[in-house]
Each structure stands twice: as C-alpha cells, then as structure tokens.
Amino acid sequence: MTEQEAVALFKCLADKSRLQILRSLAQEDMYVELLAERLNLSASTVSFHLKKLAEIGAVTSCKSQYYTMYSLHREVFNQTILSIIAQKPDEAEIQAQREITWKKKVLDSFFDKDGKLKTIPAQRKKRLIILEQLAQAFEPGKTYSEREVNIIIADYHDDFCTLRRELVDEGLMQRSDGTYQRNIQAS
C-alpha cells in the first residue's frame, strides 16, 4: 500500500456510517437495500458510502441474480496499522504521485464538470496534458476523417481546428492523406 493509498484509507474509514457498513459486511455479504434497512440509512446514502469504500479497495462487489452483493475486502483489513505506517514511501513513487496529482489538478481546472474544455491552456506543459486527455477520445488503430476528428473535438471545445493541429504537432495523432490516427506510442 502506498502512502497515498494509506491516507485515503484512513480518511475514508474516519466516518461512523462507513464503519457501520464495514462492520455489517464483516459479518456477511450484503446488498444495498439490506444494509440500508439494518443501519437505518437511505439506500442512496449507503450507495454513496459503498462507492467511497470501493474506491479505496475496502469493499468489492459482484452482481448476483437480482442484486449487487458487497463484500469486505479482507486482505486490506488483515494488515496491521503498524505494517501500513511502517512502509517507507520510495522517491520514485512520491514523484509519480506528485505528477498524477498535478495532472489531475490541471484537468480539473481546465475541464468543467460535464467534461467540456473551458479554455485552451497557454502554457505548453498544461496544454500537453489537455491534449493527451483529448487523444483518449480516439480509438487506437482506427482511421478518422478530418470531419470525424472535428466532430469529436467539438464535443470538448469549439476551437476544434487549433486543437486538431496541436494534436498532430505534439505527436499525439498522425495525419496522412487527409486521414488521422491516434499515435499509440505518444499517448
């Protein structure tokens, strides 16, 4: 478990409702409605907490015939707290984590909640992160006409011409004979 994962785990556990959910799941696997009834919480509140618990790997889910059953991920809880805090973070991991956090911050500030690009960043480093994100909208190996590329980019921002050119200039997409392909090596 990385230091970041440990922080997320402890933060997530610092909630009475979530501890009650985990206590119930420690006894037996359950579905949302049953947990809600037992804990006197609304089903949506239980789903909310289960989603947070699933994000840190504390619970797992599987679809049964009618319901999604939730289980405690016992491996996470079989570790001692001492073993978690005693793990030394390595420098490369810290650096990688910083990079991920920074990229997320850039994406959050330039994309709105509906996934639209608010503005094209002026700074090249930030623009590259945005372009890498846009490149994900294209299937690797698939050939797109210029019109198709424009339509896809227009879902994110009106200035699709600039963004299309930048994707090519930054090596994220290749253009040949008027058709485009995502450059897999670069993204």
Partner 1 sequence: MEELMTFFKNRIADAQKSACDLRADGREDEAALEQIRGNIYGIFVSVIETGTTHTGSPEELKSFFEKNLERIPSGWVIARDKARERGDTVRVVQEEVKLNAIQEIRDAYRQFCGDAS
User: Which residues would be at the binding site for partner 1 (CB under 8 A)?
Assistant: 14-17, 44-45, 47-52, 113-115
Which residues, at least 6 apart from 18, have a Cβ–Cβ distance to it below 8 Å? 12, 49, 52, 53
Judged by beta carbon, residue 34 or residue 48, the one nearer partner 1 is: 48
Rg (CA), the chain: 22
* Closest CB 170 distance from partner 1, rounded Å: 26
* Closest CB 69 distance from partner 1, rounded Å: 16
Which residues face 62 on adjacent strands? 69
* Closest CB 95 distance from partner 1, rounded Å: 29
Which residues, at least 6 apart from 59, have a Cβ–Cβ distance to it below 8 Å? 21, 22, 25, 50, 53, 70, 71, 72, 73
Judged by beta carbon, residue 39 or residue 128, the one nearer partner 1 is: 39
* Closest CB 31 distance from partner 1, rounded Å: 14
CA distance 113 to 66: 32
Judged by beta carbon, residue 49 or residue 182, the one nearer partner 1 is: 49
Judged by beta carbon, residue 39 or residue 186, the one nearer partner 1 is: 39
